[in-house]
């Protein structure tokens, strides 16, 4: 048996419905609108977009979803946000439904394959992503 979309949906509570996340989404020009210095750490990103107002701006929504994706869902290994996931956060902030369940499951299987390869070759296992 293996992990299914239904398991991910139930355990991680990610939506299995919505648009499929293709590589074309990951390479859109959204990243150029955000300052590259803000990807140095989660705290710098959070402090730059942490404004107390009644209604959060679009940039604040994107920053929140960007931190949520990188830190809590995909668990980016180098402890700082990855620019490659910024377009997904931007699309989510615009209200576009995205199939995060399949995206998470793909990342999980990719990380399990990487871990298996490391163990098979005698390398020290370094779990990336959701592992």
* 52-76 residue pLDDT tens: 667 877 888 888 888 888 888 887 7
Instruction: Tell me the whole-structure pTM to 2 decimals.
Output: 0.74
> What pLDDT is recorded for position 62?
84
* Cα(62)–Cα(57) distance, integer angstroms: 9
> Per-domain residue ranges for the chain?
5-120
Please enumerate, as own/partner, the contacts of 1-10 that have beta carbons within 8 Å and a separation of 24 or more: 3/105, 3/108, 3/109, 4/105, 5/101, 5/102, 5/105, 8/101, 8/104, 8/105, 8/108, 9/101
- Cβ within 8 Å of residue 70, ≥6 positions away: 42, 76, 81, 82, 85
> What pLDDT is recorded for position 78?
72
Low-confidence ranges of the chain (pLDDT < 70): 1, 22-40, 50-53, 125-131
């Amino acid at each position: 048996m293996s992990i299914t979309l239904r398991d991910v949906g139930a355990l991680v509570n990610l939506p299995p419905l919505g648009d499929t996340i293709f590589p074309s989404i990951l390479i859109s020009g959204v990243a150029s609108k955000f300052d590259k210095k803000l990807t140095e750490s989660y705290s710098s990103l959070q402090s730059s977009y942490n404004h107390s107002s009644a209604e959060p701006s679009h940039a604040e929504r994107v920053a929140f979803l960007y931190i949520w994706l990188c830190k809590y869902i995909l668990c980016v290994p180098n402890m700082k946000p990855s620019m490659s996931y910024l377009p997904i956060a931007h699309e989510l902030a615009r209200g576009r439904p995205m199939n995060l369940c399949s995206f998470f499951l793909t990342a999980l299987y990719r990380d399990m394959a990487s871990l298996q390869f490391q163990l098979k070759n005698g390398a020290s296992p370094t779990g990336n992503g959701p592992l």
